[in-house]
A = this chain, B = another copy of it.
Amino acid sequence: MSELRYDPLQRRWVIIASERQRRPDDFINPYKVTSSPEKCPFCYGNEDKTPPEIYAVRRDNSSPDTPGWRVRVTKNKYPALSLGDEEHNLQPYGVYGRSEGLGTHEVIIEGPDHELGMADFPEDLTIDILKTYRKRLVELRNDERLKYILIFKNHGSIAGASLFHPHSQIIATPIIPRTVQIELLATRGFYGERRNCLICEMIKQEQDEKVRTIYDDGTIIAFNTYASRFPFELFIAPIKHQAYFHKENNTTLEKLALCLGNVLKRLKKALDDPPFNYILHTSPNKEAGPAYPGFWNTLDDDFHWHIEIIPRLVKTAGFEWGSGLHINPMLPEKAAEFLRETEI
């Protein structure tokens, strides 16, 4: 089993994934790309090359772990975390902290087509994927040991995708990761002072200024963030306040699918199919207890789910890793103008 270790200096946890353990000299040539599409474990007919399916969207009465699925969820074959029956047990380790690497790591295979990226998915496939996100969030929230469920996508090798076939991933952890904690503290602090949601206020400001907005259909908004760390960094959120992604109805998910299609097409066309990561931040598992020391967890009123898209166009160097302060050579207003003017 892997291990969670706590760094008291940076106040962050790290997953030491011994199940993915490599020998020291495996790192000597790290940027080799290993992809052989003909043996793709995510293509029809290769269902036995993944762990058994946990959930699938099937409209043809086909059996589990056979072709016919539209979206398919399995455990990650090399999971960073895994879940048995044990309780979660955080222990001090001198000044540090540790626990077993309890959690889950799942893969969401996004359609049988090996080549097509989300920018070009038929709309109903993206809708099925978003409904699958919702389904897995609802299911995983039943396990009170899991304090946070993070859904993300790596597109392109530079963005960390090790398999070409389009897929998203879910990692659920027994701790709230630091980046999410900081957002929770910020929105809770803002709510305490102003009795309003920080992200609702951000959206209002973006709608007033319009200069960073790429897409706004009255339900979903997409904009380049004011303090973008990376060129073309995007923020997508529902305009109406909602803390929890899994509480959104079908209509909102359908509108979100349209927005994702529109925005990802613009990115693809404008920047020649750039590598990117996207990340869903939703409110943590309320039933799982306090989100961070000194606070009980979020209210429904003080968080607002959103998706961040980070195109991976620039390298991250010592300054960024050492400071958390990013240098972005691209004005967000200019990035937005460029994306808006891209014909799709």
Contact = CB atoms under 8 A, between A and B. Distances in A.
Pick from A159, A279, A327 the residue with the most CB of B within 10 Å: A327
A225 B9 CA distance: 11
B27 A330 contact: yes
Nearest to A304: B9
A95 B201 contact: yes
Given A152-B319, A159-B317, A171-B319, 5 more contacts: A8-B186, A12-B324, A15-B328, A18-B331, A80-B327
Contact of A31 (B158, B198, B272): B158
B96 A327 contact: no
A30 interface: yes
A209 B93 CA distance: 11
Interface of A: 5-18, 20-22, 24, 27-31, 80, 93-96, 148, 150, 152-154, 158-161, 169, 171, 173, 175, 177-180, 182-183, 185-187, 190, 198-199, 201-202, 205, 209, 225-229, 231-232, 270-272, 274, 277-281, 308, 310-311, 313-319, 321-332, 334-335, 338
14 contacts: A14-B229, A20-B327, A22-B329, A27-B231, A27-B274, A27-B313, A30-B314, A94-B201, A96-B226, A159-B318, A160-B316, A169-B319, A173-B325, A177-B325
A198 B8 contact: yes
Contacts of A177: 322-325
Given A190-B8, A318-B154, A323 B180 contact: yes
A14 B277 contact: no
A200 to B, nearest CB: 10
A225 B202 CA distance: 38
Contacts of A325: 12-15, 173, 175, 177-179
Nearest to A209: B94
A271 B27 contact: yes
Contacts of A161: 317
A147 to B, nearest CB: 12
A156 to B, nearest CB: 10
A182 B17 CA distance: 25
Given A21-B330, A205-B94, A335-B24, A277 B321 contact: yes
Contact of A16 (B7, B310, B318, B331): B331
Contact of A225 (B7, B226, B279, B280): B7
Nearest to A235: B9
A190 to B, nearest CB: 7
A140 B305 CA distance: 42
A116 B329 CA distance: 30
A227 B274 CA distance: 32
Pick from A24, A154, A182, A311 the residue with the most CB of B within 10 Å: A24
Nearest to A317: B160
